[in-house]
Amino acid sequence: MRTNPMGLLSGNWIFTAKQAFDQPQPEAQIWAVPIAGGAPKLAFAYVVPGGGIPEAPIDNAPYLRRQFSPDGRRMVIAVNGQLVVVDLESGAARALGVKGTFPSWSRDGSRLAFLLTVPNPNAIGPDVSIATVAADGGAVHQLGLLTQAESLEWSVDGMNLLVPQQGRVSIVDVASGAVIRTIDVQSGPAPSFAHFRRGTPAVALALFGCVASRSLISLDAISAPIRTLVTSPGTGEQCLLALDPRWNPAADELLYVAAPMNALCCRPHVLDIASGKDAVIPVEAYQATWSADGSEIAYLTPSRAVGYGSTIRVWPRDGRNERVLLVVTGYDRLVSIASVAY
């Protein structure tokens, strides 16, 4: 891999993962740009696999939001199936000596969750199981649970993981590996299915297929009853999926992207939790996130030609003009977006 020291980071930055095909081998490139505008910076890049074990998930489109350390100055990634921690300011990259893919950094900073492939002689492909390791490496703790996830959501205190499984979502105690609650729903498309926060509700969870007309639910606490946040106007092919829920860091609001089944055209929504008002943002987005103060929404415009995103744009909520932060061309594409405040 190659890295570029970013120096002392301050302010609000937008990070994106770019799949680049103008290299001798396809790369994942992590770019950063100040949300107020400025020259984009390439933080680091690494070669990504174009294939692998049949039916096994391929970690070539990182979901950035979960891969930062709590202070945003380090990232964990999987390079050739090995976990690597990159210090963004110095550019130093350190392999942890741990085999795994799709890593997520715990919100308390202590541990990394990741996926392992486990051979299954009775299936076409391997099973995918969950493991954790200390953030600086060490002994791997296998939880013994299978998952359909491509990224795992940590609770804010770092004690629990939200684990999508076949026909249900399990809440797992990380220390013991015990399932402490099972929610009988099918989570929305991976990897962006849920988001924890400090507050009430504590977690928002997107559903697949609009079960009982629900597309977005929440829990006030891990043991609390299910609350319906968003209902869909239809079911089946008319179902409106709620994708990638993200809590406003500065207000009691939830940002998500609403998409008809099997459609590329999606619109961001902002749900006011207190009033229940669900406002549609007048843009099209593949993925969207908040600015640090909640006054703006940064998003990836969907690419009709190659899928994923093609541009980072910022939509101010006070009606000022939008601005463009980054554009990709050709067959390159933007696969993830994250907002980090320093």
Burial, 32: exposed, middle or buried (Cβ in 10 Å; 0-12, 13-18, 19+)?
buried
Q: Does 163 reside within a domain? A: yes
Range of the domain at 274: 151-285
Same domain, 266 and 179: yes
pLDDT tens column, 161-175: 998 888 888 999 999
* Sites in the chain below the pLDDT cut of 70: 50-57, 123-125, 188-190, 209-213, 234-238, 262-265, 305
Q: What is the pLDDT of residue 57?
A: 61
Domain count, the chain: 2
| In-domain check, residue 40 | no
136 with 217, same domain? no
What CATH number has the domain bearing residue 251?
A: 2.130.10.10
For position 160, what pLDDT does the model report?
97
Q: Please indicate, yes or no, if residue 194 is contained in any of the structural domains.
A: yes
In a domain, 43, yes or no: no
**pLDDT of the residue at 212:** 58
Q: What is the pTM of this model?
A: 0.93
d(CA 328, CA 24): 18
Co-location of 180 and 138 in the same domain: no
Q: Are residues 105 and 134 in the same domain?
A: yes
pLDDT tens figures, 284-302 = 999 999 999 999 999 999 9
Tokens 């609000």 — which residue? 12
